[in-house]
Structure 1
Amino acid sequence: MADPSTYRPKPGEIPTDPGVYRFRDKDGRVIYVGKAKSLRPRLSSYFQDITALHPRTATMVRTGASVEWTVVGTEVEALQLEYSWIKEFDPRFNVKYRDDKSYPFLAVTMGEEYPRAQVMRGAKRRGTRYFGPFSHAWAIRETLDLLLRPFPVRTCSGGVFKRASMSGRPCLLGYIDKCSAPCVGRVSAEEHRAIAEDFCDFMAGNTTKFVKRLERRMKEASDELEFEQAARLRDDIGALEKALEKNAVVLGDATDADVFALADDELEAAVQVFFVRGGRIRGQRGWVVEKESEDLPELVGHLLQQVYGDPSEGTTDAVPREVLVPVLPADSDSVQEWLTRLRGANVDLRVPQRGDKRALAETVRRNAEQSLARHKVTRAGDLTARSVALQELQEALDLPEAPLRVECFDVSHVQGTNVVASMVVFEDGLARKAEYRRFIVRGATSGGDDGTPPVVDDTAAMHEVLTRRFLRYLDERDRATDVEVGDDGAADERAGGVEEVGGPRASGPIDEETGRPRRFAYPPNLVVVDGGLPQVNAAQRALADLGIDDVAVVGLAKRLEEVWVPGQDYPVILPRTSEGLYLLQRVRDEAHRFAITFHRQRRSKAMTVSALDGIPGLGETRRKALLKAFGSVKRLRTATVEEVEAVPGIGPTLAATVVERLHADEATRVPAVNLTTGEVLD
C-alpha cells in the first residue's frame, strides 16, 4: 500500500471553497468521493497521523495513490456533484446502503405501447411507474387481483400477448373481464393507455374520484333498469373499497410524507422508511449501512441522496411535501434546497416533535431496531468478518497485501459441448456483479469428427480464458494516457465554470467517452480457479506467458476444500471455521453458478429444432432476419418467393429454396419444439 505522504497536496495548494474530492488508487480508479464546505480542512484531515484515523479510513488513504478535487459555487452544487460521481464510479470505500431484503414493487410499464402491470424487483427502468415497495410479492398480486375489475389493465408477458394477437383469442383474464384484451383489438391502444393511467392515478392516492365516478355510473344504470351493469359496477366499487381498506389512514389531511428512522450500533446502522401518500402507508423500505467515522447527521445526508438522487429510482412525484428524519443532516439547509429543486415546490425537511407524525416516527424506529437485530443474527456483510477473511488469506497465502479484489474463474461443459467459462469479481469480500464476465471457449476441444463425443482439456480451457482476460488488461493498461495541464500547472476551465484541480491523471482504466471503468482495466490481487493443482498451474502459466508476476493464483478443490498454490506439492489447509476459507468458497460457488447458468442458456439454444434448420445457404443471421420479418415460421410458410426475397440478405435463389423446402415439408411437417422444455415453437 502507498504511503499517504507521497501524494499529499502541498500546503496552501488546496482551496478553501466548497467542492468535491476524489481519491484514486494506483490504477487510476476512484475509490472514494466526498464533499466539503471547505476543501482545505477536510482534505488535510486525511493526512494527519495515520493511527488517529478510523481503521477503514486509514485503509482507504493507504490504498489511494492520488487525490483531486473540483471547486463548485455552492454547497447544493457540491451535493449534486458528489451524488453523480458516486453513481458513476461506485467507489469501494463510500458508504453503501444495502437493502436489508429485496422488496418487490408494483410496476406499470408506461413506456410500452400497451402498458403492463406486474411485480418487479431490481433496478428501475425508465418509462416505468413504480408503486411500493411492498413487504411481500403476494400482497402486490392480491391488490392487483382486486383492482383488475375496475381497471382491466394488461398483466400478461410479451410472449403471451404476441400469441394471443396471432391467434385472435384472448387469454383467460380477457374472458373473465379482468383484462381489456387489447391483444385482440377489444380496446384500442389509446383506450388501454387511459385505463393504465387511471390505474396509476388510483395507486398514487387519488382514490376518491374513482369511487364517486363508479357510484354515479351505478346509479345511472339502475335508473335505466340496466341491473346487470349496475351489479357489475357495485362489485367494482366493492373491489376498490377492499383495496383501500388494506391501507389504513395513519396521517390526516391527506398528508404526503416520507418518514425515516435509524437504529445503530458500533459497526452498522439500520434504516427504515415508510412512504405515506394521501395519509396512507403506501410502502416500506429498509437498508443496512456500515458505519465509519460518520455520525448520524452525515448518514442521514447520504441516505437522502440515495433515496432521492436518481430520478429513475421512482415516480415523478418521488419527493413528497414533507420529509421526516430522526436527526437533521449536517448541511440541512443545502439538502432542503436540493430537495426543493428536485420536487419543483417547497419541501419541509424536519424532525417530528409531537402528535401523529411523532407516533408514526416511533413506529418506524421500532421497525429499524428489529431490522438491525435480524441483521446481527446473520451478518453476512459484517465488515469485521470480511476484514478478518482478507487478513487470513493474506497470511495463509503469504501475500504482500490483503486481496481487496479477487477474481474467480470456472469452466463448464457437458461432454465437451458448449464449453463456456465465467469470471466473477469480489471486492472487499462482496460480489461486484457489474464486473462479471462470460467467455465462450473454442480452443480447448479436440476430437468429435468421427461421431464420438469431443474431448475438452480443462487445463487448456483455463489457460485460454486467463490469457484472454489478461491480454485485455494489458491492452487497457497500454492505452493509458496522461491528461495534459497548462504551463503553470493549473487545470483547464471546464464547462459550467467548474474547476478541476489535482495534477495529471491516468485515464487508461477510465473510458474517455463514457467516463466509466473499462471492462478489464483493473488487475486482481488474487486469482482463484475452480480446481486443483493442474488448473492452478495452467493459470499460472498463462500469467507467466504474458509477463505478469504481481498477481497471486490459487485453486480451490471441491472434494476436501484444499487451497492449491502453483509449484507446491501439498495444498494449504485452512481451518473449517476460517473466514478466509468461507470467502473462497463463496467466490468459487458464485463462479460455478454463473458459468453453469451461461452453459444452460447456450445448451437450450443449441437444442432448439426449427423447420429452417438444414436449408442450404440459410445461416443463423439470415434465419433471424426471416423470423424478424415474418414473425414466425407459420407465416413464412404462406409467403411467396417475392415476399421472401424482399428480406435483406435473401437473394432470389435462396428465396426459392426456402419456399420450396417449407412447402415440401408441409405435409410431413414436425412442429419446431424446444427439446429441453417440450414447448411448441411454431
Structure 2
Amino acid sequence: MPDPATYRPAPGSIPVEPGVYRFRDPHGRVIYVGKAKSLRSRLNSYFADISGLAPRTRQMVMTAGSVEWTVVSTEVEALQLEYNWIKEFDPRFNIRYRDDKSYPVLAVTLNEEYPRLFVYRGPRRKGVRYFGPYSHAWAIRETLDLLTRVFPARTCSAGVFKRHRQIDRPCLLGYIDKCSAPCINRVTAEQHRQIVLDFCDFLAGKTDRLVRDMERQMNAAAESLDFERAARLRDDIGALKRALEKQTVVFGDGTDADVVAFADDDLEAAVQVFHVRGGRVRGQRGWVVEKTGEPGAEGEAPLVEQFLTQFYGDQAELSAGAGDEATNPVPKEVLVPVLPDNADELADWLSGLRGSRVSLRVPQRGDKRALAETVQRNAQEALAQHKLKRAGDFNARSEALQSIQETLGLDEAPLRIECVDISHVQGTDVVASLVVFEDGLPRKSDYRHYAIREAAGDGRSDDVASIAEVTRRRFARHVADAEQPMAAEGKSRRFAYPPNLFVVDGGAPQVNAAAAVLKDLGVTDVAVIGLAKRLEEVWVPGPSADPVIFPRTSEGLYLLQRVRDEAHRFAITFHRSKRSKRMTASALDSVRGLGEHRRKALVTHFGSVSRLRAASVEEITAVPGIGVTTAKAVLEALGVPRDATPEPASDAPNHSDTPEPILHDDLPRADLARAEPPGLDPPQTDEQPIPDPHSEQISEWQTSE
C-alpha cells in the first residue's frame, strides 16, 4: 500500500486558486475527485496528519499513488468540472447518489397521433410529457387503473394497437370502458387527444376545474332524467377523489419544490427527497451512501453540496432532449436543511440547468418547515433500517473474506474477486463470462463476456484452452495499462488494476492453465484458484494432487459458490442469446434464393422459427418478396414434409417444435448422453392444437372435423 509521503506535492507547488483535484491509484485509475476554493489549503490538509483523517478518507489517501489538479476561474466552473469528472471516471471513493435502476415515471406520448400512457424509465424525449418519479412501478399502474375509468386513454403498445386495428376488434380494456378504443375509431384522434390532455391537466394539479365540470354534467344529466349517465359521472367523481387522496396537499399555494433532508453517522448518510409539484407530493426517493469525510468537511453542508451537484446533474442529462418546461427536473425551489458555503454558486448552477431562477433556501416556519421535518424523520428511519439490515450482511461478508484469506494463505483479504466460466454445446458457440465481486458484493458494471476464438480441431470443446485464452485477454489489458498508466484520459479504467483473487470454474488443469498465462505475462500479485463442482473442492496451482477443502459451513466457501454460480448464470445467458441467433440464421441459410433481407423479413413477421415452421404456404407468401416456390423451400428447410399442410400460426402451443439443445452444464453426463441431440426430426404426436374461439379460422376447423 503506497505511503502518502512518496507522492505528496512539493511545498509551494500547489496553487492557491480554486480548482478540481484527482487522486489516482498506482495503476492510474482515478479513485477520488474533489474541488476546493483554495487547492493548496485543501490538498495540504490530506497530508498534514493522516491519523486525524476520517476512516474512509484515510483509506483513500493510503490507496492513492498520485494527485493532480486543474485550476479554474470560478466556483461554478469547479462545480461543473467536478460533476463531469465524477461521471467520466466513476471514482470508488466518491459518494454515489444512485440506485441499481432508475426511478419509474408516467410517460404520455403527446408526439403521437394517438397518445399513449405507460410506465417509463430512462432519458427524457422531446414531445413526451412525464409525471413522477414514483417509488414503485405498481404505484403508477394503480394510478392508471383509477384514472382510466375517468380518462379512458390508450395504454397499449404500438404492436397491440396495430393488431387490434387490423382485426377491427378492441382489447379487453375497450370492452370494459377503460379505453376509448381509438384503434377501431370509436373516438376520433382529436377526441382521444382531448381525453389525454384532460388526464395531463388532472395530474398537473388542475383538479378543481375537472371535478366541478363533472359535477355540473352529473346534475344536468339528472335533471334531464338520464340517470345512467348521472350514475356513471358520480362514480367517476368518486374515482377522482380516491386518486386525489393518494396525493396529499402540503402547500396550499401550489408550490413546485424539492424538499431534501439527511440523517448521518460517522460512516454513512441517508438522504430523502420529496418532490412537490402543484402543492402535492408527486414522488419520493431515497439513498444511503458512504460518507467521503473530506478534511474539515463536517456537518450536513458538504452532503448538501455533493447531493445537489450529482442528483440534478444526472437528472438534467436525462431530460436533455425533452425541451419541455413540464419535464424539467429542477424545480423553482429547493429546500435543504442547511446552506453550503457556496450556496450562491450552487443556485447559479441550478438556474443554468433549469433555464430560469432557482431558489435554494432553508425553510424556517409554516407548512414548508413541517414538511421538512417529515422528510427528516423519513431519512432517520431509512438510516436505522439500513443499519439493521446491513449489520448482518457486513459481518457475514467480512467473515467470508477473512476465511478465504486464512484458508488460502493470502497476504491480504481478497477485496476484489474475479471469476471465469466457459459455456458451450458440444464445442459449438463457445463463450466465456467474467464476473467481478468487490467487498463480497457483485459489481455488475464490470461484468464482461467473451466469444472464444480458439477451438479444438476435433470439434469438441477444450475448456482448458478457453480458460487460458480468456485469462490472457483479460490480463494482457492490465499489463498494457500498467505500462502506460496515465494514457488516454477519456478511456474507461475499470480494469486498470488486477483482482486479489482470480477464480476459474474447474479443477487442476484449468487452474494450471490460468497460472501459466499469468506467469508468461509477468503478473505476480494475483492469486489463482479453481472451484470444482463435484465436491466443491478448491484447487491451487502447482504439482500437488490434493485440493484445499473448506469446511462445509464456511462463509468463505459460500462466497466462492455465489461467485461461481453468478459466473455460470452470466455465461449461460450470453450463450443462449448467441446460440439462438445462430440457430435462427442457420435454419434458413440453406434455402436457395433467400437473401439476408428476406430472412430478416420472415423472422420479423412470424416472430420465431417455430411459428414460421407452423405456418402455411399461403401465410408465408403474405410476406413481401416471398413467392410460392420460396415458401415451400423454407418449409422443407425447416423440416416440414412436402405433403404436410400446417395449420395457420396461432397462439396455441406448438407441439412439433424442435426441442431446444441442452447445455453441457445443465445435466449430469449420464443424462446428457440420453438427451436428444439437436438437429433430429421432432417426435410425432397425435395431439391437435386447441382452436381459439375468437379466431376467424374457427368455421374452417369445424368443417374439417
Please give the range of the TM-score, normalised by the shorter of the 2 chains. Answer: 0.7 to 0.9
How many Å separate the matches in 2 of 1:194 and 1:538?
68
Which residue of 2 is the match for residue 271 of structure 1? 271
Equivalent pair of 1:109/1:129 in contact (CA under 8 Å): yes
**CA offsets 1:591-631 (integer angstroms, 9 cap, x no match):** 23322333444455567699957523647675125555999
How many Å separate the matches in 2 of 1:69 and 1:189?
58
Task: Please state if 1:588 is matched with 2:564.
Answer: yes
Alignment of 1:212-291 (within 5 A): 212-215=212-215, 231-291=231-291
Q: 1:309 aligns with which of 313, 316, 321?
A: 313
Pair 464,102 (structure 1): closer, same or farther in 2 beyond 3 Å? closer
How many Å separate the matches in 2 of 1:111 and 1:679?
41
Equivalent pair of 1:23/1:65 in contact (CA under 8 Å): yes
Task: Please state if 1:74 is matched with 2:74.
Answer: yes
Equivalent pair of 1:327/1:351 in contact (CA under 8 Å): yes
Which residue of 1 is the match for residue 487 of structure 2? 507
In structure 2, what residue type is equivalent to 1:300?
A: V
Which residue of 2 is the match for residue 669 of structure 1? 646
Pair 166,548 (structure 1): closer, same or farther in 2 beyond 3 Å? farther
Q: TM-score, normalised by structure 2?
A: 0.76
Which residue of 2 is the match for residue 452 of structure 1? none
Equivalent pair of 1:630/1:636 in contact (CA under 8 Å): no
Q: What is the alpha-carbon root mean square deviation over aligned residues?
A: 4.3
How many Å separate the matches in 2 of 1:156 and 1:74?
50
How many Å separate the matches in 1 of 2:187 and 2:481?
54
Q: TM-score, normalised by structure 1?
A: 0.79
How many Å separate the matches in 1 of 2:280 and 2:623?
62
Task: Please state if 1:22 is matched with 2:22.
Answer: yes
Equivalent pair of 1:553/1:566 in contact (CA under 8 Å): yes
Pair 193,60 (structure 1): closer, same or farther in 2 beyond 3 Å? farther
How many Å separate the matches in 2 of 1:676 and 1:167?
32
How many Å separate the matches in 2 of 1:70 and 1:386?
38
In structure 1, what residue type is equivalent to 2:31?
A: I
Compute the displacement of 1:34 (Å).
Answer: 0.6
In structure 1, what residue type is equivalent to 2:645?
A: T
**CA offsets 1:232-290 (integer angstroms, 9 cap, x no match):** 44443332222112222233222322222222233222222222222222222121111
Compute the displacement of 1:562 (Å).
Answer: 4.4
How many Å separate the matches in 2 of 1:258 and 1:70?
32
* Paired residues, number: 634
In structure 2, what residue type is equivalent to 1:244?
A: L
In structure 2, what residue type is equivalent to 1:528?
A: V
Compute the displacement of 1:94 (Å).
Answer: 0.7
Pair 622,439 (structure 1): closer, same or farther in 2 beyond 3 Å? farther
Question: Highest CA radius of gyration, 1 or 2?
Answer: 2
Alignment of 1:534-573 (within 5 A): 534-558=509-533, 561-567=536-542, 568-572=544-548
Which has the larger displacement, 413-422 or 315-324? 413-422
Which residue of 2 is the match for residue 465 of structure 1? 470
Which residue of 2 is the match for residue 616 of structure 1? 592
How many Å separate the matches in 1 of 2:468 and 2:273?
49
Which residue of 1 is the match for residue 674 of structure 2? none
How many Å separate the matches in 1 of 2:137 and 2:222?
38
In structure 2, what residue type is equivalent to 1:366?
A: R
Compute the displacement of 1:297 (Å).
Answer: 1.6
Equivalent pair of 1:269/1:372 in contact (CA under 8 Å): yes
Equivalent pair of 1:103/1:135 in contact (CA under 8 Å): no
Unaligned runs of 5+ in 1: 449-454, 481-504, 646-654
Pair 608,679 (structure 1): closer, same or farther in 2 beyond 3 Å? farther
How many Å separate the matches in 2 of 1:63 and 1:563?
30
Alignment of 1:283-432 (within 5 A): 283-293=283-293, 294-295=297-298, 296-310=300-314, 311-313=316-318, 316-379=327-390, 393=404, 397-399=408-410, 403-413=414-424, 418-432=429-443
**CA offsets 1:651-677 (integer angstroms, 9 cap, x no match):** xxxx78525636996972366767689
Alignment of 1:104-115 (within 5 A): 105-108=104-107, 110=109, 113=112
In structure 2, what residue type is equivalent to 1:304?
A: L
How many Å separate the matches in 2 of 1:676 and 1:131?
45
Pair 630,382 (structure 1): closer, same or farther in 2 beyond 3 Å? closer
How many Å separate the matches in 1 of 2:117 and 2:305?
34
How many Å separate the matches in 1 of 2:690 and 2:444?
32
How many Å separate the matches in 2 of 1:105 and 1:190?
28
Unaligned runs of 5+ in 2: 320-325, 637-641, 661-688, 696-705
Task: Please state if 1:530 is matched with 2:530.
Answer: no
Compute the displacement of 1:20 (Å).
Answer: 1.2
Identity %: 64
How many Å separate the matches in 2 of 1:576 and 1:38?
56
**CA offsets 1:388-425 (integer angstroms, 9 cap, x no match):** 76566556545566545432212234665654321112
Pair 3,266 (structure 1): closer, same or farther in 2 beyond 3 Å? closer
Which has the larger displacement, 406-415 or 16-25? 406-415
Equivalent pair of 2:20/2:70 in contact (CA under 8 Å): yes
How many Å separate the matches in 2 of 1:475 and 1:146?
59
Pair 93,129 (structure 1): closer, same or farther in 2 beyond 3 Å? farther
How many Å separate the matches in 2 of 1:131 and 1:438?
37
Pair 130,467 (structure 1): closer, same or farther in 2 beyond 3 Å? farther
How many Å separate the matches in 2 of 1:535 and 1:613?
36
Which has the larger displacement, 397-406 or 277-286? 397-406
Which has the larger displacement, 348-357 or 623-632? 623-632
Specify the SS of the correspondent of 2:47. Answer: coil
Which has the larger displacement, 576-585 or 153-162? 576-585
Compute the displacement of 1:173 (Å).
Answer: 1.5
Equivalent pair of 2:106/2:133 in contact (CA under 8 Å): no
Equivalent pair of 1:150/1:236 in contact (CA under 8 Å): yes
Compute the displacement of 1:144 (Å).
Answer: 0.9
Which residue of 2 is the match for residue 652 of structure 1? none
Which has the larger displacement, 175-184 or 629-638? 629-638
Specify the SS of the correspondent of 1:341. Answer: helix
Specify the SS of the correspondent of 2:109. Answer: coil
Specify the SS of the correspondent of 2:170. Answer: coil
Pair 245,636 (structure 1): closer, same or farther in 2 beyond 3 Å? farther
**CA offsets 1:7-47 (integer angstroms, 9 cap, x no match):** 32232222212111112223332211111111111112222
How many Å separate the matches in 1 of 2:101 and 2:556?
27
Which has the larger displacement, 9-18 or 613-622? 613-622
Which residue of 1 is the match for residue 449 of structure 2? 438
Specify the SS of the correspondent of 1:261. Answer: strand
Pair 620,48 (structure 1): closer, same or farther in 2 beyond 3 Å? farther
How many Å separate the matches in 1 of 2:496 and 2:426?
34
Which has the larger displacement, 379-388 or 307-316? 379-388
Equivalent pair of 1:134/1:283 in contact (CA under 8 Å): yes
How many Å separate the matches in 2 of 1:28 and 1:220?
75
Which residue of 1 is the match for residue 630 of structure 2? 658
In structure 2, what residue type is equivalent to 1:373?
A: A
